[in-house]
């Protein structure tokens, strides 16, 4: 019970450190928490401090253990432990995944369409045995169905080792490719595998071809990207005739095509990159379908002959109303996906009749829907996924000819769930500049007004937060919470303009939108100041830090997961894995004084000041390559030094995990239970 005896939190040593850019000098007394040998972390003083923070976390949460156990039991009780996905046909086989009772990880199965025995093709449970962390990355069955390529990360560093399994014998081939960070793409009649290696800066600047049975030294680099801000990825066209190699950063892209049967052929450049123009392509016969934002920020769909791939002719105009997020090609039709006023829209369209548009209709006013796994070229029934904040995840088959939806599987909640007890709303709350911010809210119908409310936000990279279903959040909602998602600028919930309005020089809109959404919820009687818990991760953790600095009195509890809080120092360090590719998102403070000053003005670590802060719980991953462990560690150290209150401040660093926290479906639930226990504790709702 040593952890229980701790009475004071750890205090990090202050070591004077300064840096100067654009004539501006910045002091950073906690810069020493970055191990100079990173990504290896061996510095004894650094490790001792992280361990001390972990012991403080354990000591403060020890009395919450009964509540954590109760929450975990509730959450686990809502998960069907022995579960399987709906089988899907791909070639000569039906494929599905299964969870066994009590298992943290999946098993991958298939069965011949013509009949025969079920075949276990990959056993994640066995692969993860004895490992503190396990994550399956890419997984790809060869086109003849005889080989399986897969990649595994067993420490959270997101550097995967690819292996190839003979599905007839169950044996692993001697081929082994360490350091991958990519899809695994079969080419040349299943004799070759295309992949990308992560370089020392954790960037995929290459597409490489491995010939089965040959040493890695003979692998061929099909493409190398010289711009350090761009990343390379490979895939097959929908008809599996073309290898597509794309290179992009956050705002610009460039695509090359190579015949899949002849991967050493000279690549065809679709169109030379132009700053700010994004595009992706697929092929139907000799026609390219190009999804691009070159003439409208909400993207258009164009076509081009393969013989002149850069000559694009509009097929679907870009509009302010419809945000075209993607296109899927099939033999007899194609499908567009997008959003109208933030609501998902799926439409079936036809090559021979451009005017024929058939939207898939769904029953609720607010929901999340999208195409599921549809692996075959010649499909007449589409797999579709659907959910809402009150409706559990449902898998449908959509018959294209009859335009009818057939439910195949509804997410089962073993401990019971009655949707009629809950209600969801989609509000529009004005921000301080008059912009209406959508907010999705889930409550029980019998909830009293003015009670506790949990507000979640992200707001970056053009990532929309869908109003989907979650079983774990019911543990708050059933205790009287309203659960709200603020669809703030910086995501692309309302289109590309929504994203642009929360990046670069307009980044602070993201933070003020979140604050204004909270104030609007208070004004509408949903809750009160100080009764709001908030959470976000990564760039959403940056959001948590920014609003804790700006409006500390609003929040009753703050949970920041792997928070990107040391924005200025990270964006100044071109040697860090993500930094050069992030400049189009945040700005380049190395070259641009205005970007330096703006980032410094909102960077949560740089803006910590002497004031009272709300209770804060922070998580980190020692092996996290996306938000390095020292960002949250430095932030917590500075908060301990500067804050004037006695509120809780705890930091938990997963010493064997990365950006996503613990692996395994139940281990990750335990971390959610800890988060919710902290929130209930701080809001005085433990009973």
410 Ramachandran zone, left/alpha/beta (phi>0; psi -120 to 50): beta
Q: Where are the alpha helices (DSSP H) in 404-507?
A: 474-477, 496-500
Answer for the pair 490, 502: CB distance below 8 angstroms, yes or no: yes
Give the whole-angstrom CA distance, residue 589 versus residue 602.
13
- What separation in angstroms does the CA of 527 have from each of 453, 483, 555? 6, 11, 11
Query: How far is residue 514 from each of residues 380, 432, 437, 553, measured CA to CA in Å?
Result: 43, 11, 9, 14
Tell me how many degrees the CA angle 475-479-482 measures, rounded to the nearest 5.
90
Q: How far is CA 347 from CA 156, 357, 363, in A?
A: 38, 6, 16
Whether the CB-CB separation of 578 and 516 falls below 8 Å is answered with no
Concatenated DSSP letters of 633-680: HHHHHHHHHH--S---EEEEEETT-BTTBS-SHHHHHHHHHHHHHHHH
- Concerning whether 538 is annotated as a catalytic residue, the answer is yes
307 tagged catalytic: no
Q: Find the catalytic residue in 210, 284, 296, 659.
A: 659
Among 440, 538, 569, 663, the one annotated catalytic? 538
Q: At which residue do the structure tokens 């301990």 appear?
A: 640
Token pair 């709350």 is at which residue?
429
Q: Is 373 a catalytic residue?
A: no
What phi, psi does 448 have (nearest 5°)?
A: -75, 140
Separation of CA 128 from chain center: 22
The residue from 83, 153, 154, 624 that is catalytic is 624
Please report which helix (H) or strand (E) contains residue 485, including its range: strand 482-486
Q: Which residues are catalytic?
A: 538, 624, 659
């Amino acid at each position: 019970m040593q952890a229980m005896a701790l009475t004071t939190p750890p205090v990090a040593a202050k070591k004077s450190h300064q840096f100067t850019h654009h004539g501006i000098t910045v002091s950073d007394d906690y810069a020493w928490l970055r191990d100079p040998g990173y990504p290896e972390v061996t510095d004894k003083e650094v490790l001792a401090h992280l361990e001390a923070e972990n012991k403080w976390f354990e000591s403060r949460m020890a009395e919450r253990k009964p509540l954590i156990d109760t929450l975990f039991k509730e959450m686990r009780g809502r998960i069907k432990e022995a579960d399987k996905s709906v089988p899907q046909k791909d070639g000569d086989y039906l494929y599905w995944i299964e969870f066994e009772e009590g298992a943290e990880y999946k098993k991958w199965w298939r069965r011949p369409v013509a009949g025969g025995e079920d075949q276990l093709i990959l056993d994640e449970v066995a692969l993860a045995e004895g490992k503190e962390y396990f994550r399956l990355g890419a997984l790809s069955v060869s086109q003849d169905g005889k080989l399986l390529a897969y990649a595994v990360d067993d420490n959270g560093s997101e550097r995967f080792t690819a292996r190839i399994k003979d599905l007839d014998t169950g044996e692993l081939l001697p081929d082994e490719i360490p350091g991958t960070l990519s899809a695994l793409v079969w080419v040349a009649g299943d004799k070759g595998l295309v992949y990308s290696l992560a370089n020392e800066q954790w960037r995929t600047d290459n597409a490489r071809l491995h010939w089965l049975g040959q040493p890695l030294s003979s692998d061929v680099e099909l493409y190398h990207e010289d711009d350090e801000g761009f990343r390379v990825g490979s895939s097959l066209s929908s008809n599996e005739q073309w290898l597509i190699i794309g290179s992009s950063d956050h705002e610009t892209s460039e695509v090359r095509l190579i015949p899949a049967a002849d991967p050493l052929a000279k690549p065809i450049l679709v169109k030379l990159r132009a700053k700010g123009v994004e595009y992706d392509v697929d092929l139907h016969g000799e026609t390219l379908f190009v999804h691009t934002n070159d003439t409208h920020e909400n993207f258009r769909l164009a076509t081009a002959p393969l013989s002149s791939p850069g000559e694009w002719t509009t097929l679907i105009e870009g509009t302010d109303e419809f945000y075209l997020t993607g296109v899927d090609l099939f033999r007899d039709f194609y499908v567009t996906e997008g959003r109208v006023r933030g609501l998902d829209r799926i439409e079936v369209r036809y090559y021979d009749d451009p005017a024929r548009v058939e939207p898939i209709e769904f029953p609720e006013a607010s929901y999340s829907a999208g195409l599921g796994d549809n692996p075959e070229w010649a499909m007449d029934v589409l797999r579709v996924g659907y959910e809402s904040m009150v409706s559990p995840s449902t898998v449908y088959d959509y018959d294209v000819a009859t335009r009818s939806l057939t439910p195949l599987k509804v997410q089962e909640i073993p401990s019971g769930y009655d949707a009629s007890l809950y209600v969801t709303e989609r509000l529009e709350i004005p921000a301080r500049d008059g912009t209406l911010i959508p907010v999705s809210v889930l409550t029980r119908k019998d909830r009293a007004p003015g009670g506790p409310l949990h507000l979640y936000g992200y707001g970056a990279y053009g990532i929309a937060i869908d109003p989907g279903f979650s079983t774990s959040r019911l543990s708050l909602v059933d205790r009287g919470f309203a659960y709200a998602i603020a669809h703030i600028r910086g995501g692309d919930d309302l289109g590309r303009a929504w994203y642009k309005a929360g990046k670069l020089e307009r980044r602070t809109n993201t933070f003020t939108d979140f604050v204004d959404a909270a104030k609007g919820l208070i004004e509408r009687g949903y809750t009160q100041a100080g009764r709001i818990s908030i959470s976000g991760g990564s760039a959403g953790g940056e959001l948590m830090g920014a609003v804790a600095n700006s409006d500390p009195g609003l929040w009753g509890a703050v949970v920041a997961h792997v928070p990107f809080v040391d924005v200025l120092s990270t964006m100044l360090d071109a040697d860090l894995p993500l930094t050069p590719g992030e400049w189009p998102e945040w700005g380049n403070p190395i070259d641009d004084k205005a970007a330096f000053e703006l980032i410094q003005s909102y960077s949560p670590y740089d803006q910590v000041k002497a004031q009272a802060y709300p209770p804060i719980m922070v998580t980190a991953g020692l092996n996290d390559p996306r938000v390095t462990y020292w960002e949250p560690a430095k932030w917590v150290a500075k908060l301990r030094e500067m804050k004037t209150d006695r509120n809780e401040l705890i930091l938990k660093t997963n010493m064997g995990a990365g950006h996503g926290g613990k692996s395994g479906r139940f281990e990750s639930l335990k971390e959610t239970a800890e988060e919710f226990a902290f929130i209930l504790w701080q809001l005085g709702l433990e009973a």
